[in-house]
Structure 1
């Protein structure tokens, strides 16, 4: 446990650094050098590590022809300003999550996760085979950005709560840290919901600014120390069944590269999308087993009345978003068609298989 505690101390102590200089780094002859800004604390297990690994892989695949300097949240820009930083040319690249940009492009949330929506493999199928990537590209084109899948934190947990949740009534009046459409679902269940940057969540939970936190899975959540403050860990994550991380790349910077380096960026992002999900599944499996063995945290299923109310709220939130603009409507229709098509296959493949293997909720 000592190594874990040391890691937590590093995350908390170095999460928000002072603003770094914006002067362009010196370039070696024939070498392109990019800045990547991220929404994560430096080396946060899960997305923070994904960002570092992606930058390193771009350098390796390019033979050093394109190097990427990674700046954690707060070093160049705050966590929730990386979209503008790349759009405005402060950095060439960002590693983040699309649901942070609902205020700029409401339909962006579909490209991270949607309550009761696509699972990680289903989401990949929609992006790569069901037309999702073209819609994502079109959504970000006015901002001069090209999006890529570039990591995945997998299935999430429902959240850390300081007090038990025995019924829907227990949620009312509490405040939770949440992001994306899931935050709106929690609001409709009677909670307050606020999006807090990852580096600031622990302090908000510890100080009582929020009563509960939903962030990622146990692997990343434990690294931020949530189990030190909240003793009830709820599941399932009806609000976040997927965790796609996005790489935002400046279209101008990308198109200025030779074709082979453009291909390197795309290949490195695709590789990290796969590797990040594999890591998340493996490490979350180990982390949940550790929590069960230690017994310090009560692992609890959300009561059925919470899940039922959340499903109704999720359907309403998705419908309202779809009705908000023609652009959002087109993306929502594509997404819902993917839910229906892929869900039909999961119903006769994955779901009964897991039941047959003896995995019961």
Structure 2
């Protein structure tokens, strides 16, 4: 009897070790607070856990693991397994995907933003550059076109942008610079304080960020149709952690990405539908820029910056023209298929 009990105990212990070995727990570094911008990550964690019977879990940390500007560095050293970052925070580290942050690319909606992001992420130049940081692209965080909030008299003419201090990163910052603006790249978390203290006159964000980071609460006006472009913020995973997944866990992760992005699009769509209500609740004036002013902005802040980016990146050995053409071709194909 004692021998039988010993065998049972050993078997139980072996089963326990096997279960523990099968379990996967990932730490995920994001920032701010839970919002429309992070809902696909929350959904991904939920789906992966469901599909693996709770064997693969994700601990999502909002600022507890790293600064948002250092998430890619954290991924590179394996400080955590998954992270979100924005290309404009460190364009020198992710040069290839900055093509997606060029102003006035002509992307019309979130679905098109997903299409062009997926195409660029799959390009070998992006894969090689991300591999230098031990990072693998997982999914995009599609955002609508950015628009300004500001205080005082609305700025609805291009001449009024001259000398305007604006929180804008990447290609958007260059577009505002082209019309006399003074861009500053304070992080999203610092934008409210920068606006409150007068460091900036205006802040360029997508709708969810104006809400989440409170800049809408200081605003008296918002531009409804400036639409100069957007910021590209991928979610990446540590290559070693991804490769170490069991086949079943890797399949659960990969298969859950499209579902998570679809959930994100649906959720963000609801926010866009009630945006006018938000403006009314907060007594923020909706400003429409005249078409002729928008045309002037595109003329100086669009193609010239595109050409400059292509020349600069090409000189650094990047297939810049190829990446730029890929965006335009993807937009054409996406629209043709719809």
TM bin (shorter chain) = 0.7 to 0.9
Q: Which has the larger radius of gyration?
A: 2
1:68 maps to what in 2?
A: 58
8 Å Cα contact 1:37/1:71 also seen in 2:
yes
How far apart are 1:341 and its partner, in Å?
Answer: 6.1
Mind listing any 5+ residue stretches in structure 1 that lack a counterpart?
1-26, 351-361
CA distance in 1, matches of 2:337, 2:149: 31
* Alignment root-mean-square deviation, CA: 2.7
Instruction: Pick from 290, 297, 306 the counterpart of residue 310 of structure 1.
Output: 297
For the pair 1:214 / 2:204, whether they are aligned, the reply is: yes
1:354 maps to what in 2?
A: none
2:309 maps to what in 1?
A: 321
1:109 maps to what in 2?
A: 98
How far apart are 1:345 and its partner, in Å?
Answer: 7.3
Mapping of 1:1-361 within 5 angstroms?
Answer: 28-38=20-30, 40-43=31-34, 45-73=35-63, 75-111=64-100, 113-117=101-105, 118-119=107-108, 120-128=110-118, 130=119, 132-135=121-124, 136-153=126-143, 155-163=144-152, 164-217=154-207, 219-240=208-229, 245-291=233-279, 293-294=280-281, 296-304=283-291, 306-311=293-298, 312-326=300-314, 329-339=318-328, 342-343=331-332, 346=335
Distance 1:114 1:269, change over 3 A: farther
Number of residues of Structure 1 aligned to a counterpart in Structure 2: 314
Q: Which aligned runs of 4 or more in structure 1 are off by greater than 6 angstroms?
A: none
8 Å Cα contact 2:134/2:239 also seen in 1:
yes
Distance 1:88 1:41, change over 3 A: same
CA distance in 1, matches of 2:149, 2:293: 15
CA distance in 2, matches of 1:131, 1:170: 35
Distance 1:66 1:211, change over 3 A: same
DSSP 3-state at the match of 1:196 = coil
How far apart are 1:105 and its partner, in Å?
Answer: 2.6
Distance 1:131 1:200, change over 3 A: closer
CA distance in 2, matches of 1:328, 1:287: 43
Distance 1:315 1:56, change over 3 A: same
- 1:41-66 deviations in whole A, cap 9, x for unaligned? 121x2123433333333322322222
How far apart are 1:173 and its partner, in Å?
Answer: 1.1
CA distance in 1, matches of 2:73, 2:65: 12
CA distance in 1, matches of 2:188, 2:296: 27
How far apart are 1:97 and its partner, in Å?
Answer: 2.8
TM-score by length of 1: 0.77
2:4 maps to what in 1?
A: none
How far apart are 1:185 and its partner, in Å?
Answer: 0.8
Mind listing any 5+ residue stretches in structure 2 that lack a counterpart?
1-18
DSSP 3-state at the match of 2:29 = strand
CA distance in 2, matches of 1:131, 1:76: 28
8 Å Cα contact 2:313/2:320 also seen in 1:
no
DSSP 3-state at the match of 1:324 = helix
